[in-house]
Amino acid sequence: MKKHFNVLTYLFLLVLMQMYSARLYAQSAKPPIMGWSSWNHFRINIDEKMIKEQADALVSSGMYAAGYRYINIDDGFFGGRDSSGQLYANAVKFPSGMKSLAGYIHNLKLKAGIYTDAGRNTCGSIWDGDKKGLGVGIYGHLEQDCDVFFKRWGYDFIKVDWCGGEKMGLDEQKTYTEIINFIKKIDSDIVVNVCRWKFPGKWVVNKADSWRISGDISADFSSILKIIDINADLHPYSKPGSYNDMDMLQVGRGMNYEEDKTHFSMWCMLNSPLLAGNDLRNMSAQTISILTNKELIALNQDIGFVQAKRVYREGDVEIWLKPLGTNGKVKAIAILNRGSKQADFEFQSGQLGLSGESKLRDLWLHNNLGKVGASRQVKIPGHGVVVFKVG
């Protein structure tokens, strides 16, 4: 009897230890990163002056106060390699050098991001005709380039693209695993993004900080819906510190107000990294109001780290549910209208597992709406969304 008791006690304590370890891990995990990236708006047409101005604008616009921290320099900074294979930047575009630019970004209390390709050549060399992007990928120069990016230049984030790797027919799991392992040995806090343009596979979950799940986004609502649909079934692979990347934000780049709100809302609900892709120097007040909605951002940065799930779909209307906090008692609900016309919709609290006594708050109107009740009528603009916090 005593032996049986000891075994049960041991198993019980083991379960408690595992639960405690999991909770500690979740508490120490990093939420999805927030910042800005150059590719969407500028592609390879980047330079030192513009990057500094973006960093300045991120701070002055209120985005820093809302939680944005990263200034990510994408493809287009390369100058080539010297006779020893050492990577150097384009001196015409970046006369002060990449180390100096990282220092400028850091002095604003921001993080600095950089770019490479897993193969020999970059995406800019293949798709934008950038001859400076030939031979500057990380393939064959892993130790050399990581020394430059992280030890000499001092960058905090790296996006690893796949254009060159695909052209070479490289094994993506083997190639990316080697790159990520090497970077994390230098500094485990360096954020690594795998840009494979589709979900890479289960292997990536315990390796990268984030991974692209789709082809490149465009400033078109059909593109937004396509990426949302791709991510709908990928929630099992999102976990604290590691996230499905739905690509850079297109807010302020040509869609209408409701479409921009929907885009931003769903990226927040689905725990995607929030990397603005517009020109921060000339944003409208409307664009700033969307990108700095702290109540929506709080969903993305929530300490529960749970990606929303689609729990209802009929016609053009969908309901997405996201548990919040460590116990999930408080929830976020996004009701999405895929159609172009206003939808008048009634949802039943019981069908969503909600108590009618729970309090409802509209996160775009910033209004408390009282108790949920047995049912609730909502009007959703065409291509629009309403987002509630229920608790």
Per-residue pLDDT of the chain (391 residues; tens, 9 = 90+): 444 445 555 555 555 554 444 454 455 899 999 999 999 999 999 999 999 999 999 999 999 999 999 999 999 999 999 999 999 999 999 999 999 999 999 999 999 999 999 999 999 999 999 999 999 999 999 999 999 999 999 999 999 999 999 999 999 999 999 999 999 999 999 999 999 999 999 999 999 999 999 999 999 999 999 999 999 999 999 999 999 999 999 999 999 999 999 999 999 999 999 999 999 999 999 999 999 999 999 999 999 999 999 999 999 999 999 999 999 999 999 999 999 999 999 999 998 999 999 999 999 999 999 999 999 999 999 999 999 999 9
The residue type at 212: R
The active-site residue, picked from 161, 245, 247, 302, is 161
Q: Are 292 and 254 in contact (CB under 8 A)?
A: no
**187 annotated active-site:** no
pLDDT at 8: 52
Contacts 24+ apart (CB under 8 A), 15-23: 23/326
pLDDT at 202: 98
CA distances from 183 to 129, 134, 178 (A): 29, 22, 9
Cβ-based neighbours of 154, under 8 Å, separated by 6 or more:
99, 102, 103, 106, 112
d(CA 253, CA 284): 11
pLDDT at 28: 80
Cβ-based neighbours of 375, under 8 Å, separated by 6 or more:
346, 347, 348, 349
**156 annotated active-site:** no
Calculate the CA dihedral of residues 138, 139, 140, 146 and round it to 10 degrees. Answer: 20
Q: Which residues pair with 103 in a beta bridge?
A: none
The active-site residue, picked from 56, 216, 220, 316, is 216
pLDDT at 11: 53
Q: Which residues of 61-100 are buried (b: 16+ CB within 10 A; e: fewer)?
A: bebbebbbbbbbbbbbbbbebeeeeebbbbeebbeeebee
pLDDT at 267: 99
d(CA 204, CA 211): 8
pLDDT at 25: 47
pLDDT at 1: 45
For residue 159, the 8-state DSSP code is E
Question: 42-95: per-residue pLDDT in tens?
Answer: 999 999 999 999 999 999 999 999 999 999 999 999 999 999 999 999 999 999
**Which two three-digit tokens encode residue 345?**
């919709």
d(CA 91, CA 218): 31
